[in-house]
Amino acid sequence: MLRTGLNPYGLTYCLGLQGQGTARGNPHGRGLEGLIEIGAELGARTLEIHCAWLVPMSREELAGLGRRLRALDMEPVVSLGPPLEGVADALRVAAALGAQTVRLGLTPVLAGDRAWRADWPELVAEVRRTLGEFAPRAEELGLALAIENHQDFTSWELVEFCQEAGHGTGICLDTGNPLAVGEEPVAFAGRVAPWVRHVHLKDYTPQWTDEGYRLVRCAVGDGAVPLAEIVAVLDRHQAHLTASLEPGALEARHIRLFRPEWWRGYPPRSAAELGPCLAAARRARLEEDADWRTPWEKGDDGEALIRYELDMIRRSAANLRRLGLM
pLDDT digits (tens, 9 = 90+) for 191-232: 999 999 999 999 999 999 999 999 999 999 999 999 999 999
Task: Answer yes or no: are the C-beta atoms of 316 and 221 closer than 8 Å.
Answer: yes
Q: What is the pTM of this model?
A: 0.96
CA 300: distance to chain centroid? 24
Residues 6+ apart with CB under 8 A from 300: 308
Per-residue pLDDT at 302: 85
Write the CA distances from 225 to 10, 175, 231, 279, integer angstroms.
Answer: 16, 7, 11, 11
Percent of the chain at pLDDT exceeding 70: 97
Mean pLDDT confidence for 167-185: 96
- 244, pLDDT greater than 90: yes
Q: What is the pLDDT of residues 118-158, one digit of tens each?
A: 999 999 999 999 999 999 999 999 999 999 999 999 999 99
Question: In this structure, are residues 144 and 168 in contact, taking their beta carbons and an 8 Å threshold?
Answer: yes
Whether 21 has a pLDDT exceeding 70, the answer reads no
37 phi and psi angles, rounded to 5 deg:
-65, -45
Note down the domain range covering 75.
2-323
- Percent of the chain exceeding pLDDT 90 equals 91
Residue 255 has φ and ψ, to the nearest 5°, of -95, 100
The angle formed by the CA atoms of residues 207, 209 and 212, to the nearest 5 degrees, is 95
Alpha helices by DSSP H, listed for the chain, are 31-42, 51-54, 59-71, 87-97, 120-140, 155-165, 185-192, 227-235, 271-280, 302-323
What's the chain's average pLDDT? 95
Q: Which residues contact 90 (CB under 8 A, 6 or more apart)?
A: 51, 78, 80, 102, 104
Given pLDDT bands bounded at 50, 70 and 90, which one contains residue 23? Answer: low
Q: Is the pLDDT of residue 285 over 60?
A: yes
- Phi, psi angles (nearest 5°) of residue 112: 70, 10
> Distance between CA atoms of 200 and 18, rounded to whole angstroms?
19
Instruction: Give 3-state DSSP helix, strand, coil % of the chain, rounded to 5.
Output: 45, 15, 40
- pLDDT for 76-134, tens place per residue? 999 999 999 999 999 999 999 999 999 999 999 999 999 989 999 999 999 999 999 99
Residue 25 has pLDDT above 60, yes or no: no
Number of domains, the chain: 1
**Residues 250 and 296: beta-carbon distance below 8 Å:** yes
CA 30, CA 229: separation in Å to the nearest integer? 34
Residues 6+ apart with CB under 8 A from 282: 206, 208, 224
Given phi > 0 = left and psi -120 to 50 = alpha, else beta, which region is 142?
left
CATH number, domain containing residue 301: 3.20.20.150
Q: What is the DSSP code (8-state) at residue 17?
A: S
How far, in Å, CA of 271 to CA of 10, rounded? 33
**pLDDT tier for residue 24 given thresholds of 50, 70 and 90:** low
Q: How many CA atoms lie within 13 A of 303 on its CB side?
A: 0
pLDDT, residue 20, reads 67
Residue 37 pLDDT greater than 60, yes or no: yes
Distance CA 264, CA 268 (A): 10
Query: What is the model's pLDDT at position 30?
Result: 86
- Nearest by Cα to 250 from 218, 225, 223: 218
Residue 322's pLDDT is: 96
Q: What is the pLDDT of residue 266?
A: 94
